[in-house]
């Protein structure tokens, strides 16, 4: 992305993506870690809808399983979560607007479900999910004008990430370093052959770990590039779906498993004839947008690189990045 290009900077989406690193630099670690001792349940549900749940919850859960966090974390959409036994569970409900209907209904349900605590993670004060939980964290990212959520997603994720790292004594990110690397990923030049592959795709598939990155970019593909898209978790891409792939399809694999690259090439490139590209910090078998590496915090850089890919694709297709025809900023708004 290039903030000096008026064709790009005229879009709120691009401006908000490029504001994300500065938002990260300004985050108050002490304000986030002060929440650490408020968590008291035997398990923790990270709920929300769409972008407020996919990357924020799944990135943190993946880290908790790798690092052996003290808390048992899980995620579910707010409506299905109402069917679960949540006694003794702390429930975080993330909602950029603070007015997401599914989250408001879950909050009302929790009053009779015996949960330990209800915590809102919101961007707008004075809303139901800011005022009615036991306590709430108010995001500092500021308003977003574009329909596709961006900087709010990153702050929600960092709130969870830092909070549960602090509770488990895990390494915290150097926010300045992270912000600088995010800026690098956002501004990297996207190779023309990758833009061509993605812009020409009938369906744009994403593959990668179940840490929220590829899944969130699948959603963003619908909102930004206006293409049909699907998330093929892990190595699902070579376990049957090749039967219906066509040469006009493309797949972006995020941080590919080194030992699986040959199989992807055999089944998808040679077998199905589709274009496969990568987001990776190292050399791969596929054309790649290279991103920096920062240990446990690399998923933030991969997400920023994915945004960069999708903006380049949308611009190549002549898409109005800020105004989808049907998608809304608040998918299902609560009206009192």
Tell me the pLDDT tens digit for each residue of 221-250. Answer: 999 999 999 999 999 999 999 999 999 999
Q: Indicate the CATH number of 178-316 among 3.40.980.10, 3.40.190.150, 3.40.50.10490, 3.20.20.105.
A: 3.40.50.10490
CB count, 10 Å around CB of 243?
A: 6
Model confidence at 328, pLDDT cuts 50, 70, 90, reads: low
What is d(CA 95, CA 34) in angstroms, rounded to the nearest whole number? 21
Mean pLDDT for the chain? Answer: 94
- Compute the average pLDDT of residues 59-66: 98
Say whether pLDDT at 120 is over 60. yes
pLDDT at 168 (0 to 100): 95
pLDDT at 147 (0 to 100): 85
- Compute the average pLDDT of residues 46-75: 97
- Compute the average pLDDT of residues 45-73: 97
Model confidence at 335, pLDDT cuts 50, 70, 90, reads: low
156-170, 195-209, 320-334: least confident range: 320-334
Within the chain, strands assigned E span 43-48, 72-77, 89-95, 117-122, 135-138, 203-208, 228-233, 250-254, 275-280, 288-290
CB count, 10 Å around CB of 119?
A: 22
pLDDT at 3 (0 to 100): 81
The CATH superfamily of 6-172 is Glucose-6-phosphate isomerase like protein; domain 1 (3.40.50.10490)
User: Taking each helix axis from N to C terminus, what angle separates 298-316 and 54-67, rounded to the nearest 10 degrees?
Assistant: 150
CB 41 within 8 A of CB 117: yes
Task: Tell me phi and psi for residue 313, to 5 degrees.
Answer: -65, -45
Q: How far apart are the first and last CA of the chain?
A: 40
**Which residue ranges does the chain devote to CATH 3.40.50.10490?**
6-172, 178-316
What is d(CA 226, CA 325) in angstroms, rounded to the nearest whole number? 10
pLDDT at 332 (0 to 100): 63
Going by C-alpha positions, the residue among 206, 313, 195, 214 that lies closest to residue 268 is 206
Say whether pLDDT at 68 is over 80. yes
pLDDT at 112 (0 to 100): 84
CB-side neighbour CA atoms (13 Å) of 287: 17
What is the pTM (predicted TM-score) of this model? 0.95
pLDDT at 114 (0 to 100): 85
Sheet arrangement for strand 288-290: 228-233, 203-208, 250-254, 275-280, 288-290
- Compute the average pLDDT of residues 27-35: 94
DSSP-assigned letter for residue 295: G
């Amino acid at each position: 992305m290039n903030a000096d290009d008026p064709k790009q900077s005229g879009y709120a989406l691009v401006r908000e993506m490029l504001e994300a690193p500065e938002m990260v630099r300004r985050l108050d670690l002490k304000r986030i870690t002060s929440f650490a001792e408020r968590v008291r349940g035997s398990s923790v549900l990270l709920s929300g809808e769409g972008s407020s749940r996919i990357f924020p919850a799944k990135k943190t859960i993946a880290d908790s399983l790798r690092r052996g966090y003290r808390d048992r974390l899980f995620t579910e959409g707010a409506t299905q979560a109402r069917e679960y036994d949540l006694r003794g569970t702390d429930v975080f409900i993330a909602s950029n607007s603070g007015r997401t209907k599914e989250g408001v209904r879950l909050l009302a349900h929790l009053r009779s479900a015996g949960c330990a605590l209800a915590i809102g993670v919101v961007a707008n004060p004075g809303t139901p999910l800011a005022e009615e939980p036991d306590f709430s964290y108010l995001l500092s990212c500021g308003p977003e004008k574009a329909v596709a959520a961006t900087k709010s997603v990153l702050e929600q994720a960092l709130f969870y990430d830092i909070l549960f790292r602090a509770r488990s004594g895990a390494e915290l990110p150097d926010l300045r370093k992270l912000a600088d690397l995010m800026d690098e990923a956002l501004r990297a030049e996207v190779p023309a052959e990758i833009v061509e592959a993605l812009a020409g795709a009938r369906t744009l598939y994403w593959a990668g770990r179940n840490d929220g990155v590829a899944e969130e970019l699948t959603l963003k593909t619908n909102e930004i590039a206006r293409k049909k898209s699907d998330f093929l978790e892990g190595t699902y891409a070579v376990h049957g779906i090749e039967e219906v792939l066509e040469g006009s399809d493309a797949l972006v694999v995020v941080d590919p498993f080194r030992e699986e690259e040959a199989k992807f090439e055999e089944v998808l490139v040679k077998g199905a004839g589709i274009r496969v590209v990568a987001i990776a910090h190292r050399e791969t078998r596929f054309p790649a947008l290279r991103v920096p590496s920062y240990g446990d915090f690399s998923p933030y850089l991969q997400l920023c690189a994915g945004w960069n890919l999708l903006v380049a694709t949308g611009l190549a297709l002549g898409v109005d990045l800020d105004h989808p025809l049907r998608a809304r900023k608040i998918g299902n708004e609560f009206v009192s």
